Every structure is written in structure tokens, then in C-alpha cells.
Amino acid sequence: MKINVVMQRNATGLMLFLVIWQVLCELEVINPVMLPSPLHVIEALWIMLLDGTLMTNLGASLMRVGVGYMVALVIGLALGFLCGWVRKASDFIRPVVEALRPIPPLAWVPIAILWFGLGDASAYFLVFLGCVFPIFFGAFTAVRGMDKNQLNAAHCLGASQWMILRDVLVPASLPILMPSLRLALGIGWMCVVTAELIAAQTGLGYLIQQSRMVFQIQNVVAGMAAIGFIGFLMSAVLERVERRLIAWAPSERP
């Protein structure tokens, strides 16, 4: 019931935003040439859906986000848990991570093209770079902030290292880790669009760039709307998983 109420509020807020946008376009407060109305954007989405343009580019972007995110998930969690659990490992790995983290993914585009060429591999690499750091720090912070009494109790009960990792460390880290996973997913979408604007020949970012060049602004906004909608759905799925995995944890959300 609580989740349904939240979803209804989200839908109401989105509908209100679209209505205001449409009204402002009808009143010409917003120039419809520079920013098409929601109805024109929906029409553009429908046309691209019928001719296959939308699904082809959406599928390419989803694949790139999925692959880059999953690689970042594996590496980020592994290094984050390792550095949080083993201080000597943290002393060696964290300085490298802290030196690389401030570099924006856009700065890596020339190197990505040089290493991987134009195509999927460059996009995978850029999405990975965008996602891995929030995942790493989420896992690291969760482990370092864990209640030591839980570890001591597990040791007193004779738990092995594997049992502590599986039954204590991972469950206790989820309340801090899950928001980091959702944050990383959003960053992944930003990175894939950046990659597709420059170093790809398919994808929603490529669609936006090509539409801009021929001044099809409705297609530009339609591509942006598709990114926002799919990103929202993926984040919502992660949030539902979070609620199920850590239903025992206190939550600030209504």
C-alpha cells in the first residue's frame, strides 16, 4: 500500500509537470520551435517507434549501460569490500582511486577512442569509469561503518570468515550500499550519452546528435525523454529491490 501511494504521487507530479509544460507552449511563453510541446515530443516518439529508430538506438544504449554497469559492479564491490575489510589493501588502492576519481569521464573520451576505437567498447569503458567510483565508495563506507559488535558476536559464535562475509558483512552494508548503486546507474546513463555523442554510431546519444545537426528538435527532446523514462524505470526497479532486501532497515521514505 505504501509503495502504491508513492507511485501515485510520482505519477501525479510527472503529469503536473507535463501539463504545465504544454500550457506554457500553448501560451507561447516557451518557444515551441526551441522546445517542442509534450504532444509534439510524444508524436516524435511514436513515429520513431513505428519506423524502428527508437528501439534500435534504445537497445544499443541499454546494452552499453548494462555491460559497463555490471563490470563496474563486480570490480567496485570487490575493491570496496577489500579496502574496507583489509586496511593494508586500502593503503595501496585508495590513493589510486582518489587520484582517478576527480577525472570526469568526458576527459577519458580521447583515450577511450585511441584504445578501443569508435563503437561499443569505448562506451563500455566510459560507463564503467562513471559507475565504478560511487560503487566502490559505497561498499568501502558500508564496511568501515559497520557496527563492530556484530563482528565480535559472530566471532564469539565461531563463524568462519566466509560466514561473516555472507551473513554479517553483506546484509549490514546494504542500507548504505544500495543508494550508491542507484546513484551509479544514473551516472552510467550520463556517461553513455556522452560516449554516444562522440564515439558511437548508434544509441540515444547518437540519435540526439544526428537530430540536432538537422534541427529536428522534437527528436532531440524525444531522445532525452526516452533516456529519462528508461533511467527512471531502472532506478525504480533498484529501489523496489532495495525495499525487499532491507525491509528490516529504517527508511526515511514515506
The model's pLDDT over 93-140, given as tens digits with 9 standing for 90+, comes to: 888 988 988 888 888 888 888 888 877 888 899 999 999 999 999 888
221 by Cβ neighbours in 10 Å (0-12 / 13-18 / 19+) ranks as buried
Is residue 110 in some structural domain? yes
Q: Residues 64, 203: contact at Cβ < 8 Å?
A: yes
Domain that holds residue 89: 1-19+37-246
pLDDT for residue 253: 47
CATH number at residue 138: 1.10.3720.10
The residue ranking higher by pLDDT, 168 or 205, is 205
pLDDT (mean) for 3-11: 59
pLDDT (mean) for 3-19: 70
Per-residue model confidence as pLDDT tens digits over 182-203 = 889 889 998 888 888 887 788 8
Of all residues in the chain, what percent carry a pLDDT higher than 90?
18
Is residue 253 in some structural domain? no
What are the two backbone dihedrals, phi and then psi, of residue 238, each rounded to the nearest 5 degrees? -60, -35
Closest CA to 81 of 153, 160, 174, 147: 174
Q: Average pLDDT over the chain, rounded to whole?
A: 82
Is residue 237 in some structural domain? yes
How many domains does the chain fold into? 1
Least confident of 49-53, 57-61, 100-104, 195-199: 195-199
The residue ranking higher by pLDDT, 4 or 229, is 229
Question: If you search the block for the grid coordinates 546519444, which residue do you land on?
Answer: 205
pLDDT for residue 1: 46
Per-residue model confidence as pLDDT tens digits over 197-228 = 887 788 888 899 888 888 888 899 999 999 88
User: Is pLDDT at 24 greater than 90 in this prediction?
Assistant: no
pLDDT for residue 166: 67
CA dihedral sign, ordered 150, 95, 102, 208:
negative
The maximal CA–CA distance of the chain, rounded, in angstroms, is 72
